[in-house]
Amino acid sequence: MAMRTVMYFLTAVALSMVVTRTATVALTMTGLSRQAARFQARSAFSGAGFTTGEAEWVVNHPVRRRIVMLLILLGGAGLVTSLATLVVSLSRLEQGAAGAVPVALVGGVAALWAIGGSRVVDRWVSRLIEWLLDRFTELEVRDYEHLLHLSDDWKVGELHIEEGDWIVGVPLEDLDLPEEGVVVLGVQRADGRYVGAPRPSTRLHPGDTVLLYGQDRTIDELDRRQAGASGDDAHDASQARHDTLVEEQQQGERAAGET
């Protein structure tokens, strides 16, 4: 009886892993980053209730909200019930008969953990789940990481604007951020308004949050850049680095065209 309960419990754990993996892929398909999607899926399923900035993105998005609500429902019913059944079953065993149960339980959980942590398994399972969701649901795949080529030090980052920052109060067209290889995607105003694809005349103010696309090094340096001559010098240096990068890219394209 106890071994059968252990098998029920391990089955529940395996199903829980499948559910959270499916939810992770589904949340990723709505545009959430994989790391944030995994965290939100596990938090919702376990009922941990962590509150993060990504949680607001989930609550304010109708599709993500439905996914998380389903996770909360499934998580509250499945694993907790299985664990309670296992505890009751073990409490009824005689001391001698219970010796093999912990071994089977620990071994089974360790095996599931190893399988779940395998990158090869994760890659193939994620592809299968994504195909099934794309085939049988209305979720639209938005692989922003692929679309924006978020690799080779390129990223999407946020800058929280403070008084004294180099970019405060200056029209975007005068900042010449594209000359540094930085594109302004949007601005979250301090009062909650969002400005998508801001105009060249848009100015940034303390308390705003600006969403940028560019190289990791450039965005990090821009976040530390202060107003004044030092900020202007940093802008010139960053522009020179980007000019060098563009020249290298053009040389590579010309070389590729000649072959």
Least confident span in 27-41, 87-101, 189-203, 206-220: 87-101
**What average pLDDT score do residues 158-170 get?**
93
Q: Is the pLDDT of residue 202 over 80?
A: yes
What confidence category does residue 107 fall into, taking pLDDT thresholds of 50, 70 and 90? Answer: confident
Q: Greater confidence, 88 or 61? A: 61
**What average pLDDT score do residues 135-142 get?**
62
Sheet holding 154-160, edge to edge: 154-160, 209-215, 183-188, 194-196
Sequence-distant (≥ 6) Cβ neighbours of residue 237 within 8 angstroms = none
- The pTM (predicted TM-score) of the whole model is 0.52
Tell me the C-alpha distance between 97 and 2, whole Å. 9
What confidence category does residue 18 fall into, taking pLDDT thresholds of 50, 70 and 90? Answer: confident
Matching residue, tokens 């522009």: 239
**Could you give the percent of the chain with pLDDT greater than 70?**
68
Q: Is the pLDDT of residue 69 over 70?
A: yes
Neighbours of 76 (CB within 10 A): 13
Q: Is the pLDDT of residue 80 over 60?
A: no
Tell me the C-alpha distance between 7 and 188, whole Å. 50
Tell me the C-alpha distance between 230 and 165, whole Å. 11
**What average pLDDT score do residues 3-24 get?**
73
What confidence category does residue 154 fall into, taking pLDDT thresholds of 50, 70 and 90? Answer: confident
Q: Is 52 helix (H, G, I), strand (E, B) or coil?
A: coil
**What average pLDDT score do residues 196-204 get?**
94
Write phi, then psi, for 213 (nearest 5 degrees).
-120, 125
What confidence category does residue 29 fall into, taking pLDDT thresholds of 50, 70 and 90? Answer: confident
Q: What is the pLDDT, as a whole number, of residue 200?
A: 94
In sequence order, what DSSP letters do the residues of 185-253 get, joined into one string?
A: EEEE-TTS-EEES--TT-BB-TT-EEEEEEEHHHHHHHHHPBSSHHHHHHHHHHHHHHHHHHHHHHHHH
**What average pLDDT score do residues 118-146 get?**
69
Are 224 and 177 contacting, i.e. CB atoms less than 8 angstroms apart?
A: no
Q: Is the pLDDT of residue 141 over 70?
A: no
Taking the domains of the chain in order of start, what are their residue ranges?
Answer: 2-136, 148-258
What confidence category does residue 244 fall into, taking pLDDT thresholds of 50, 70 and 90? Answer: very high
Q: Is the pLDDT of residue 178 over 90?
A: yes
Q: What is the pLDDT, as a whole number, of residue 242?
A: 93
Average pLDDT, the chain: 78
Q: Is the pLDDT of residue 201 over 90?
A: yes
Q: Greater confidence, 215 or 57? A: 215
Cα of 199 vs its chain's centroid, Å: 28
Q: Is the pLDDT of residue 222 over 90?
A: yes
Whole-angstrom distance between the N-terminal and C-terminal Cα of the chain?
A: 71
Helix runs in the chain, H state only: 2-29, 34-46, 53-59, 62-77, 79-91, 100-117, 119-136, 144-147, 172-175, 216-224, 229-258
Q: What is the DSSP letter of 2?
A: H
Q: What is the pLDDT, as a whole number, of residue 257?
A: 74
With CA atoms as reference, report the closest residue to 40 among 62, 52, 31: 52
Strand 209-215 and strand 154-160: pairing?
antiparallel
Write the CATH number of the domain with boundaries 148-258: 3.30.70.1450
Tell me the C-alpha distance between 144 and 255, whole Å. 29
Q: Greater confidence, 74 or 102? A: 74
Neighbours of 115 (CB within 10 A): 13
